[in-house]
Chain A
Amino acid sequence: MSSEPRLIAPRLIEVRAKVLKQNDLLARELRERFRRSGVYVVSLVSSPGSGKTAFLEKLLSGLSATYRVAALVGDLATENDAARLRRATPQVRQITTGTICHLDAQMVERALDDWELDDLDFLFIENVGNLVCPSSYDLGEELRLVLLSTTEGEDKPLKYPTIFNGGDVAVITKMDLATAAEFDLQAARQNIQSVRPGMMVFEVSSKTGEGMEEFLSFMHSQLETSRLAASQQ
């Protein structure tokens, strides 16, 4: 019995579907909502223990004299960060992610819930401490800060190029420990530029307050610029 070889050519159907389309759409909606409300949204990413919460605490207290500020803080299990930040402003909400290692747009949207965004000038979103996973998720923020502490070493940007490349501004924290940690500031700056050309870099110490003035005035000018842009539309 002879049989013809069965030629079953598989058929390729082009779909070009973005995997994170749903997150991207929701993030875009959030961004529009934030802009309409005139609230400037800044997210913070870093590895665990690089001083996000301490920095945010300084930021919130520095800005709250002039502005209406609020924060959402992501954490795997505890409410500790929110409790700490409430010393600076009452408008703080914790997003406990359970086992999830990053925030996504839906978590942000849910956490905002009944907050009156029109009554805010700044909203900060502290991501879960992680230099890998948050990079894929747009949260609808206007500005993404990537923090790097002097105790982590100057080669962090080379080890985690994706998260640095996806950020807008780098903040080097724990500058008061730079000498003790033998942190090579110039190499760190070079490494940041290597993975994210043109990235703006700030150097701060939440402990001594070094560099905080510059950062606060940067926040001020960012808010002004974004409001000006919104009014011209």
Chain B
Amino acid sequence: MHELSIAVSMVERIIEEAESRGGLLVEAVHLKLGVLSGVDKDALAFSYEIACEGTFLVGSKLVIDVVPLLIYCETCALESSPASIQEIACPHCHTPSRKIIHGRELEVAALEVAA
């Protein structure tokens, strides 16, 4: 399980971002997590709480937005989402595609602060 390492990096990044914006009081963190990021959602949520201990992020909420796979099919000239990451092909014409547009995200999208 590498989610704890990921969570520690994430907390470091959030602290950096919050401090560079004049010390935000972060209540929730919105994370974009692609289905091909190699990171497990539940394990990350669990690890996040541990990684927050001893920082001002303790008690903050983690909102994980799972990003589905989006590929570009050259045959159909269309963007589309394959049903599974086990078959990275166009759902219309079944041509395999190497052009992955979304699905690899591992990104803190937004921080939620009290108004």
Contacts and interface: CB of A to CB of B under 8 A. Distances in A.
Given A10-B112, A12-B30, A135-B38, A194 B17 contact: no
A198 B96 contact: yes
A66 B6 CA distance: 40
B45 interface: no
Contacts of A17: 13-14, 16-17, 107-108
Interface string B28-41: 10110000111100
Contacts, number: 114
Given A9-B115, A13-B24, A14-B109, A166 B38 contact: yes
A45 to B, nearest CB: 11
A49 B16 CA distance: 40
Interface residues of A, number: 36
Contact of A136 (B6, B16, B31, B86): B6
Contacts of B1: 101, 132-133
Interface of A: 8-23, 100-102, 104, 132-133, 135-136, 158, 161-163, 165-166, 193-198
Q: 5 closest pairs, A vs B, by CB?
A: A197-B96, A133-B2, A135-B38, A162-B38, A17-B108
Interface of B: 1-2, 5-6, 9-10, 12-14, 16-17, 21, 24, 27-28, 30-31, 36-39, 85-89, 96-98, 100, 106-115
